[in-house]
Amino acid sequence: MEIILTATVMGLGMHHGSWRYRDGDAFDYVDPDYYAHIARTAEAGALHAIFLADTLDVSEERFARPNLGALDPAVTLAVMAAHTERIGLVGTSSTTFNEPFNLARRFASLDHMSRGRAGWNAVTTFVPAVAGNFGGTPLPAHDQRYARAREFLDVVIGLWESWEAGATVGDKATGTFVDAARVHALDHVGEHFSVRGPSTLPRSRQGRPVIFQAGASESGRDLAAQYADVVFTAQNTIEAATAFRTDVRRRAVGHGRPADALKIVPGLLPVVGSTTAEAQARKEELDELRGVGPELEKLALRVGVPVEALELDEPLPVDLIRANDGFRGSHGFRDAAVELATRRNLTVRELLYANGGGHQQVVGTPEEIADTIETWVEAGAVDGFNLMIDAFPSGLEDVVEHVVPLLRKRCLFHNEYAGSTLRTNLGLPPLP
Protein backbone atom coordinates (compact mmCIF):
# COMPACT_ATOMS: atom_id res chain seq x y z
CA MET A 1 0.00 0.00 0.00
CA GLU A 2 1.27 3.42 -0.93
CA ILE A 3 0.57 6.11 1.63
CA ILE A 4 -0.13 9.80 1.60
CA LEU A 5 2.55 12.12 2.98
CA THR A 6 1.95 15.81 3.49
CA ALA A 7 4.15 18.36 5.23
CA THR A 8 2.84 21.02 7.58
CA VAL A 9 4.49 24.41 7.35
CA MET A 10 4.02 26.44 10.51
CA GLY A 11 6.37 29.40 10.65
CA LEU A 12 9.97 28.21 10.89
CA GLY A 13 9.12 24.75 12.18
CA MET A 14 6.67 22.98 14.45
CA HIS A 15 9.24 22.93 17.26
CA HIS A 16 9.18 26.24 19.06
CA GLY A 17 12.95 26.19 19.38
CA SER A 18 13.33 26.07 15.62
CA TRP A 19 13.99 29.78 15.08
CA ARG A 20 17.04 29.65 17.35
CA TYR A 21 18.21 26.24 16.12
CA ARG A 22 18.13 26.74 12.37
CA ASP A 23 20.44 28.80 10.17
CA GLY A 24 18.91 31.95 8.74
CA ASP A 25 17.04 34.97 9.97
CA ALA A 26 14.34 34.72 12.64
CA PHE A 27 11.93 36.47 10.25
CA ASP A 28 12.52 34.22 7.28
CA TYR A 29 8.92 33.10 7.74
CA VAL A 30 7.74 36.26 6.00
CA ASP A 31 10.21 35.87 3.10
CA PRO A 32 8.96 34.47 -0.21
CA ASP A 33 12.22 32.63 -0.95
CA TYR A 34 11.78 30.65 2.24
CA TYR A 35 8.45 29.29 0.97
CA ALA A 36 9.73 28.73 -2.56
CA HIS A 37 12.54 26.55 -1.20
CA ILE A 38 10.20 24.55 1.01
CA ALA A 39 7.76 23.97 -1.85
CA ARG A 40 10.46 22.86 -4.27
CA THR A 41 12.06 20.58 -1.66
CA ALA A 42 8.76 18.91 -0.80
CA GLU A 43 7.97 18.48 -4.50
CA ALA A 44 11.40 16.96 -5.10
CA GLY A 45 10.33 14.27 -2.62
CA ALA A 46 6.93 13.93 -4.33
CA LEU A 47 5.14 14.70 -1.09
CA HIS A 48 1.43 14.92 -1.80
CA ALA A 49 0.88 18.37 -0.36
CA ILE A 50 2.09 21.30 1.66
CA PHE A 51 -0.28 21.97 4.53
CA LEU A 52 -0.50 25.48 6.00
CA ALA A 53 -1.97 26.24 9.40
CA ASP A 54 -3.78 29.50 10.08
CA THR A 55 -3.16 31.89 12.94
CA LEU A 56 -5.69 34.67 13.42
CA ASP A 57 -4.28 36.04 16.65
CA VAL A 58 -0.93 36.49 18.35
CA SER A 59 -2.03 37.85 21.71
CA GLU A 60 -2.07 34.43 23.36
CA GLU A 61 1.27 33.57 21.80
CA ARG A 62 2.92 36.51 23.57
CA PHE A 63 5.64 36.29 20.93
CA ALA A 64 7.60 33.68 22.85
CA ARG A 65 6.65 31.02 20.31
CA PRO A 66 7.36 32.37 16.85
CA ASN A 67 6.07 29.36 14.96
CA LEU A 68 3.33 31.53 13.60
CA GLY A 69 1.11 30.70 10.71
CA ALA A 70 1.08 34.46 10.47
CA LEU A 71 0.51 34.91 6.74
CA ASP A 72 -2.73 34.44 4.88
CA PRO A 73 -2.47 30.78 3.80
CA ALA A 74 -4.01 31.24 0.34
CA VAL A 75 -1.61 34.07 -0.55
CA THR A 76 1.40 32.06 0.65
CA LEU A 77 0.25 28.94 -1.19
CA ALA A 78 -0.23 30.96 -4.39
CA VAL A 79 3.47 31.88 -4.23
CA MET A 80 4.34 28.21 -3.68
CA ALA A 81 2.10 27.26 -6.62
CA ALA A 82 4.12 29.51 -8.91
CA HIS A 83 7.32 27.67 -7.96
CA THR A 84 6.00 24.13 -8.41
CA GLU A 85 4.09 21.92 -10.86
CA ARG A 86 2.67 18.93 -9.04
CA ILE A 87 2.53 19.25 -5.27
CA GLY A 88 -0.79 19.92 -3.57
CA LEU A 89 -1.37 23.18 -1.67
CA VAL A 90 -3.67 22.93 1.34
CA GLY A 91 -4.60 25.97 3.40
CA THR A 92 -6.44 26.15 6.69
CA SER A 93 -9.25 28.67 6.94
CA SER A 94 -11.95 29.19 9.53
CA THR A 95 -15.67 28.68 9.01
CA THR A 96 -16.31 30.86 12.06
CA PHE A 97 -14.45 33.98 10.92
CA ASN A 98 -15.02 34.12 7.17
CA GLU A 99 -17.86 34.72 4.74
CA PRO A 100 -18.46 31.59 2.66
CA PHE A 101 -18.61 33.50 -0.64
CA ASN A 102 -15.20 35.05 -0.06
CA LEU A 103 -13.61 31.81 1.14
CA ALA A 104 -15.05 29.81 -1.76
CA ARG A 105 -13.69 32.31 -4.27
CA ARG A 106 -10.29 32.47 -2.58
CA PHE A 107 -9.71 28.71 -2.64
CA ALA A 108 -11.25 28.33 -6.11
CA SER A 109 -8.76 31.00 -7.24
CA LEU A 110 -5.90 29.06 -5.68
CA ASP A 111 -7.20 25.95 -7.41
CA HIS A 112 -7.09 27.67 -10.80
CA MET A 113 -3.74 29.37 -10.15
CA SER A 114 -2.24 25.96 -9.29
CA ARG A 115 -4.09 24.12 -12.10
CA GLY A 116 -6.05 21.90 -9.76
CA ARG A 117 -3.78 21.45 -6.75
CA ALA A 118 -5.64 23.33 -4.00
CA GLY A 119 -7.10 22.01 -0.78
CA TRP A 120 -9.02 23.69 2.01
CA ASN A 121 -8.65 22.55 5.61
CA ALA A 122 -11.95 23.58 7.16
CA VAL A 123 -11.62 24.46 10.85
CA THR A 124 -14.04 26.07 13.28
CA THR A 125 -11.24 27.79 15.30
CA PHE A 126 -10.77 26.86 18.95
CA VAL A 127 -8.54 29.70 20.20
CA PRO A 128 -10.79 32.01 22.26
CA ALA A 129 -8.67 35.13 21.72
CA VAL A 130 -9.32 35.09 17.97
CA ALA A 131 -12.86 36.32 18.61
CA GLY A 132 -11.38 39.61 19.84
CA ASN A 133 -10.31 40.40 16.28
CA PHE A 134 -13.78 39.78 14.85
CA GLY A 135 -16.29 41.81 16.77
CA GLY A 136 -15.33 41.14 20.33
CA THR A 137 -18.13 38.74 21.23
CA PRO A 138 -16.85 35.50 22.79
CA LEU A 139 -15.86 32.53 20.65
CA PRO A 140 -19.12 30.64 19.96
CA ALA A 141 -19.53 27.34 21.79
CA HIS A 142 -18.41 24.12 20.13
CA ASP A 143 -21.85 23.03 18.89
CA GLN A 144 -22.69 26.48 17.55
CA ARG A 145 -19.40 26.56 15.65
CA TYR A 146 -20.12 23.17 14.11
CA ALA A 147 -23.67 24.09 13.13
CA ARG A 148 -22.30 27.10 11.28
CA ALA A 149 -19.50 25.00 9.77
CA ARG A 150 -21.98 22.52 8.34
CA GLU A 151 -23.98 25.22 6.60
CA PHE A 152 -20.75 26.97 5.56
CA LEU A 153 -19.53 23.79 3.84
CA ASP A 154 -22.86 23.38 2.05
CA VAL A 155 -22.56 26.90 0.67
CA VAL A 156 -18.90 26.62 -0.31
CA ILE A 157 -19.33 23.27 -2.06
CA GLY A 158 -22.50 24.57 -3.71
CA LEU A 159 -20.61 27.56 -5.10
CA TRP A 160 -17.70 25.39 -6.26
CA GLU A 161 -20.12 23.14 -8.11
CA SER A 162 -22.30 25.93 -9.52
CA TRP A 163 -20.64 25.73 -12.94
CA GLU A 164 -21.12 22.40 -14.70
CA ALA A 165 -18.12 21.04 -16.55
CA GLY A 166 -19.68 21.81 -19.93
CA ALA A 167 -20.49 25.43 -19.09
CA THR A 168 -17.27 26.89 -20.51
CA VAL A 169 -18.05 27.09 -24.22
CA GLY A 170 -15.77 29.91 -25.35
CA ASP A 171 -16.88 29.77 -28.99
CA LYS A 172 -15.38 32.80 -30.67
CA ALA A 173 -17.19 32.25 -33.95
CA THR A 174 -20.68 32.34 -32.47
CA GLY A 175 -19.83 34.62 -29.57
CA THR A 176 -21.09 32.11 -27.00
CA PHE A 177 -18.84 32.52 -24.01
CA VAL A 178 -20.71 30.46 -21.45
CA ASP A 179 -23.65 28.10 -21.65
CA ALA A 180 -25.67 30.04 -19.09
CA ALA A 181 -28.05 27.08 -18.66
CA ARG A 182 -25.14 25.17 -17.13
CA VAL A 183 -24.29 27.81 -14.55
CA HIS A 184 -26.63 27.58 -11.58
CA ALA A 185 -27.60 30.06 -8.93
CA LEU A 186 -27.33 28.62 -5.45
CA ASP A 187 -30.16 30.61 -3.84
CA HIS A 188 -29.09 29.34 -0.43
CA VAL A 189 -31.11 30.73 2.47
CA GLY A 190 -30.22 29.16 5.79
CA GLU A 191 -29.84 29.87 9.47
CA HIS A 192 -26.43 31.51 9.13
CA PHE A 193 -26.08 32.48 5.47
CA SER A 194 -27.99 33.76 2.51
CA VAL A 195 -25.96 33.37 -0.68
CA ARG A 196 -27.36 33.65 -4.17
CA GLY A 197 -24.40 32.56 -6.26
CA PRO A 198 -23.29 31.33 -8.73
CA SER A 199 -19.52 31.37 -8.29
CA THR A 200 -17.63 33.91 -10.37
CA LEU A 201 -15.32 31.08 -11.45
CA PRO A 202 -15.70 27.95 -13.58
CA ARG A 203 -14.82 24.49 -12.27
CA SER A 204 -11.13 23.81 -11.84
CA ARG A 205 -9.16 20.95 -13.36
CA GLN A 206 -9.87 18.78 -10.31
CA GLY A 207 -13.52 19.85 -10.16
CA ARG A 208 -13.14 21.70 -6.90
CA PRO A 209 -10.58 22.01 -4.09
CA VAL A 210 -10.00 18.94 -1.94
CA ILE A 211 -11.53 19.27 1.54
CA PHE A 212 -9.45 18.54 4.62
CA GLN A 213 -10.98 18.52 8.07
CA ALA A 214 -9.56 17.99 11.53
CA GLY A 215 -12.32 17.64 14.11
CA ALA A 216 -12.12 14.80 16.65
CA SER A 217 -15.32 15.50 18.61
CA GLU A 218 -18.61 13.83 17.74
CA SER A 219 -19.65 16.81 15.62
CA GLY A 220 -16.19 16.98 14.09
CA ARG A 221 -16.18 13.31 13.09
CA ASP A 222 -19.61 13.56 11.61
CA LEU A 223 -18.73 16.67 9.67
CA ALA A 224 -15.62 14.92 8.33
CA ALA A 225 -17.60 11.82 7.38
CA GLN A 226 -20.08 13.89 5.40
CA TYR A 227 -17.88 16.46 3.69
CA ALA A 228 -14.15 15.73 3.97
CA ASP A 229 -11.81 14.02 1.54
CA VAL A 230 -8.96 13.88 4.04
CA VAL A 231 -9.08 13.87 7.85
CA PHE A 232 -6.10 15.27 9.72
CA THR A 233 -6.01 13.94 13.29
CA ALA A 234 -3.83 13.68 16.42
CA GLN A 235 -3.27 10.02 17.40
CA ASN A 236 -0.63 8.63 19.75
CA THR A 237 -1.23 4.90 19.38
CA ILE A 238 -2.03 2.42 16.66
CA GLU A 239 -5.04 1.26 18.63
CA ALA A 240 -6.53 4.72 18.99
CA ALA A 241 -5.77 5.56 15.37
CA THR A 242 -7.36 2.34 14.14
CA ALA A 243 -10.44 2.94 16.24
CA PHE A 244 -10.67 6.50 14.93
CA ARG A 245 -10.25 5.45 11.31
CA THR A 246 -12.79 2.66 11.67
CA ASP A 247 -15.28 5.02 13.25
CA VAL A 248 -14.95 7.82 10.72
CA ARG A 249 -15.06 5.43 7.76
CA ARG A 250 -18.18 3.83 9.22
CA ARG A 251 -19.77 7.25 9.53
CA ALA A 252 -18.84 8.01 5.91
CA VAL A 253 -20.63 4.85 4.80
CA GLY A 254 -23.58 6.06 6.82
CA HIS A 255 -23.59 9.17 4.64
CA GLY A 256 -23.70 7.00 1.52
CA ARG A 257 -20.02 7.36 0.70
CA PRO A 258 -17.48 4.59 -0.03
CA ALA A 259 -15.27 4.07 3.04
CA ASP A 260 -12.10 4.72 1.08
CA ALA A 261 -13.36 8.05 -0.21
CA LEU A 262 -12.07 9.36 3.13
CA LYS A 263 -8.33 9.33 3.85
CA ILE A 264 -7.18 9.37 7.47
CA VAL A 265 -3.87 11.16 7.99
CA PRO A 266 -2.61 11.62 11.57
CA GLY A 267 0.13 14.06 12.40
CA LEU A 268 3.67 12.69 12.90
CA LEU A 269 6.62 14.73 14.06
CA PRO A 270 9.88 13.09 12.99
CA VAL A 271 13.17 14.28 14.46
CA VAL A 272 15.74 12.76 12.13
CA GLY A 273 19.40 11.96 12.73
CA SER A 274 21.88 9.75 10.91
CA THR A 275 22.16 7.85 14.21
CA THR A 276 19.68 7.59 17.04
CA ALA A 277 22.07 9.58 19.20
CA GLU A 278 22.29 12.33 16.60
CA ALA A 279 18.51 12.54 16.43
CA GLN A 280 18.29 12.71 20.20
CA ALA A 281 20.93 15.44 20.25
CA ARG A 282 18.91 17.44 17.70
CA LYS A 283 15.82 17.04 19.85
CA GLU A 284 17.64 18.00 23.05
CA GLU A 285 19.15 21.09 21.47
CA LEU A 286 15.76 22.16 20.14
CA ASP A 287 14.15 21.57 23.55
CA GLU A 288 16.87 23.48 25.37
CA LEU A 289 16.56 26.46 23.02
CA ARG A 290 12.83 26.48 23.55
CA GLY A 291 12.49 26.26 27.32
CA VAL A 292 9.25 25.21 28.99
CA GLY A 293 7.42 28.47 29.91
CA PRO A 294 5.55 29.19 26.71
CA GLU A 295 4.99 25.47 26.18
CA LEU A 296 3.31 25.23 29.53
CA GLU A 297 0.93 28.04 28.59
CA LYS A 298 0.12 26.34 25.31
CA LEU A 299 -0.52 23.02 27.06
CA ALA A 300 -2.79 24.73 29.61
CA LEU A 301 -4.79 26.28 26.77
CA ARG A 302 -5.01 22.97 24.95
CA VAL A 303 -6.26 20.94 27.92
CA GLY A 304 -8.51 23.75 29.17
CA VAL A 305 -7.11 24.47 32.65
CA PRO A 306 -5.38 27.56 34.11
CA VAL A 307 -1.61 27.46 33.71
CA GLU A 308 -1.29 27.58 37.51
CA ALA A 309 -2.96 24.15 37.68
CA LEU A 310 0.01 22.56 35.91
CA GLU A 311 3.03 21.55 37.99
CA LEU A 312 6.08 20.65 35.94
CA ASP A 313 7.09 17.64 38.02
CA GLU A 314 3.61 16.36 38.82
CA PRO A 315 1.22 14.34 36.64
CA LEU A 316 -1.33 16.08 34.43
CA PRO A 317 -4.43 17.02 36.55
CA VAL A 318 -6.69 14.70 34.58
CA ASP A 319 -9.70 15.01 36.90
CA LEU A 320 -9.64 18.79 36.63
CA ILE A 321 -9.36 18.56 32.83
CA ARG A 322 -12.31 16.15 32.60
CA ALA A 323 -14.39 18.34 34.93
CA ASN A 324 -14.28 21.29 32.48
CA ASP A 325 -17.77 21.14 31.02
CA GLY A 326 -17.42 24.45 29.22
CA PHE A 327 -14.32 23.40 27.24
CA ARG A 328 -14.30 25.19 23.86
CA GLY A 329 -10.96 24.04 22.51
CA SER A 330 -9.86 21.17 20.26
CA HIS A 331 -11.08 17.83 21.58
CA GLY A 332 -8.46 16.08 19.46
CA PHE A 333 -5.50 17.85 21.01
CA ARG A 334 -6.92 17.61 24.55
CA ASP A 335 -7.71 13.91 24.35
CA ALA A 336 -4.36 13.04 22.76
CA ALA A 337 -2.44 14.87 25.49
CA VAL A 338 -4.42 13.16 28.28
CA GLU A 339 -4.03 9.75 26.64
CA LEU A 340 -0.28 10.14 26.20
CA ALA A 341 0.31 11.42 29.73
CA THR A 342 -1.76 8.72 31.44
CA ARG A 343 -0.63 5.77 29.31
CA ARG A 344 3.04 6.55 29.77
CA ASN A 345 2.62 7.93 33.27
CA LEU A 346 4.36 11.20 32.39
CA THR A 347 4.91 14.29 34.46
CA VAL A 348 3.86 17.57 32.88
CA ARG A 349 7.52 18.29 32.05
CA GLU A 350 7.95 14.90 30.40
CA LEU A 351 4.73 15.44 28.46
CA LEU A 352 6.05 18.74 27.13
CA TYR A 353 9.07 16.96 25.70
CA ALA A 354 7.21 13.88 24.48
CA ASN A 355 4.46 15.75 22.70
CA GLY A 356 5.22 16.73 19.10
CA GLY A 357 3.10 19.84 18.89
CA GLY A 358 0.17 17.68 19.94
CA HIS A 359 1.16 14.83 17.63
CA GLN A 360 3.06 11.55 17.75
CA GLN A 361 6.79 12.22 17.82
CA VAL A 362 9.52 9.84 16.60
CA VAL A 363 13.13 10.71 17.37
CA GLY A 364 15.50 8.50 15.44
CA THR A 365 17.19 7.42 12.25
CA PRO A 366 15.42 7.37 8.89
CA GLU A 367 15.10 3.59 9.37
CA GLU A 368 13.44 4.02 12.76
CA ILE A 369 11.03 6.59 11.36
CA ALA A 370 10.25 4.38 8.36
CA ASP A 371 9.71 1.46 10.77
CA THR A 372 7.11 3.41 12.73
CA ILE A 373 5.35 4.45 9.54
CA GLU A 374 5.41 0.89 8.23
CA THR A 375 4.03 -0.54 11.47
CA TRP A 376 1.12 1.89 11.51
CA VAL A 377 0.36 1.33 7.85
CA GLU A 378 0.53 -2.46 8.12
CA ALA A 379 -1.88 -2.30 11.07
CA GLY A 380 -4.43 -0.49 8.91
CA ALA A 381 -4.38 2.45 11.29
CA VAL A 382 -3.81 5.19 8.70
CA ASP A 383 -3.87 6.19 5.03
CA GLY A 384 -0.79 8.32 5.50
CA PHE A 385 0.76 10.96 7.71
CA ASN A 386 0.82 14.71 7.89
CA LEU A 387 4.46 15.34 8.79
CA MET A 388 5.05 18.06 11.36
CA ILE A 389 8.51 19.33 10.43
CA ASP A 390 10.53 20.26 13.53
CA ALA A 391 12.68 22.96 11.88
CA PHE A 392 12.89 24.20 8.27
CA PRO A 393 14.48 23.55 5.96
CA SER A 394 16.71 20.82 7.49
CA GLY A 395 13.85 18.78 8.96
CA LEU A 396 12.13 18.64 5.57
CA GLU A 397 15.35 17.97 3.68
CA ASP A 398 16.05 15.03 6.00
CA VAL A 399 12.62 13.57 5.27
CA VAL A 400 12.95 14.00 1.51
CA GLU A 401 16.54 12.82 1.24
CA HIS A 402 16.56 10.00 3.78
CA VAL A 403 13.09 8.88 4.86
CA VAL A 404 11.27 9.00 1.51
CA PRO A 405 13.82 6.75 -0.30
CA LEU A 406 13.44 4.11 2.45
CA LEU A 407 9.66 4.22 2.18
CA ARG A 408 9.97 3.76 -1.58
CA LYS A 409 12.20 0.71 -1.12
CA ARG A 410 9.52 -0.74 1.11
CA CYS A 411 6.86 0.02 -1.52
CA LEU A 412 5.13 2.35 0.93
CA PHE A 413 5.46 5.54 -1.13
CA HIS A 414 5.03 6.46 -4.78
CA ASN A 415 8.03 7.18 -6.99
CA GLU A 416 6.29 10.01 -8.73
CA TYR A 417 2.99 11.87 -8.78
CA ALA A 418 0.14 9.87 -10.29
CA GLY A 419 -1.24 12.90 -12.09
CA SER A 420 -1.42 16.65 -12.15
CA THR A 421 -4.19 17.37 -9.64
CA LEU A 422 -4.26 16.93 -5.89
CA ARG A 423 -7.45 14.87 -6.12
CA THR A 424 -5.80 12.40 -8.48
CA ASN A 425 -2.58 12.26 -6.50
CA LEU A 426 -4.42 11.50 -3.26
CA GLY A 427 -6.22 8.59 -4.93
CA LEU A 428 -9.62 10.14 -4.33
CA PRO A 429 -12.56 9.08 -6.47
CA PRO A 430 -13.44 11.53 -9.25
CA LEU A 431 -16.29 13.90 -8.50
CA PRO A 432 -19.71 12.91 -9.82
Q: Which residues are annotated as a binding site for FMN?
A: 54, 92, 142, 146, 217
DSSP helix/strand/coil, 364: strand
Q: Which residues, including other chains, have CB under 8 Å from residue 97's CB and lie 6 or more apart?
A: 56, 125, 130, 133, 134
Among 3, 5, 15, 19, binds its own copies (CB under 8 A): 19
The interface with its own copies within residues 58-87 (CB under 8 A) comprises 58-59, 62-64, 66, 68, 70-72, 74-76, 78-79, 81-83
**Residue pair 51/8 in contact by the 8 Å Cβ criterion:** yes
Taking the least distance from each CB to its own copies, the nearer of 162 and 360 is 162
Span of 143-151, 201-209, 263-271, 404-412 interacting with its own copies by CB under 8 A = 201-209
Taking the least distance from each CB to its own copies, the nearer of 44 and 169 is 169
Among 40, 112, 349, 408, binds its own copies (CB under 8 A): 112
The interface with its own copies within residues 290-309 (CB under 8 A) comprises 291
Q: How far lies 324's CA from each of 76, 226, 317, in Å?
A: 37, 29, 11
The interface with its own copies within residues 215-274 (CB under 8 A) comprises none
Taking the least distance from each CB to its own copies, the nearer of 93 and 355 is 93
Peptide bond just before 405 cis, omega within 30 deg: no
Number of CB atoms found within 10 A of residue 36's CB: 15
Examine residue 314 and tell whether it contacts its own copies (CB under 8 A): no
**Residue pair 364/273 in contact by the 8 Å Cβ criterion:** yes
Taking the least distance from each CB to its own copies, the nearer of 104 and 303 is 104
Examine residue 114 and tell whether it contacts its own copies (CB under 8 A): yes
Taking the mean position of all CA atoms in its chain, how far away is CA 17?
21
Q: Which residues are annotated as a binding site?
A: 54, 92, 142, 146, 217
Taking the least distance from each CB to its own copies, the nearer of 99 and 218 is 99
Q: Which residues of 392-429 are buried (b: 16+ CB within 10 A; e: fewer)?
A: bbbbbbbbbebbbebbbeeebbbeebeeebbbbbbbbe
Examine residue 113 and tell whether it contacts its own copies (CB under 8 A): yes
How far apart CA 97 and CA 131 sit, in angstroms, is 8
Examine residue 281 and tell whether it contacts its own copies (CB under 8 A): no
Examine residue 157 and tell whether it contacts its own copies (CB under 8 A): no
Q: Residue 393 half-sphere exposure, CB side, CA atoms within 13 Å? A: 15
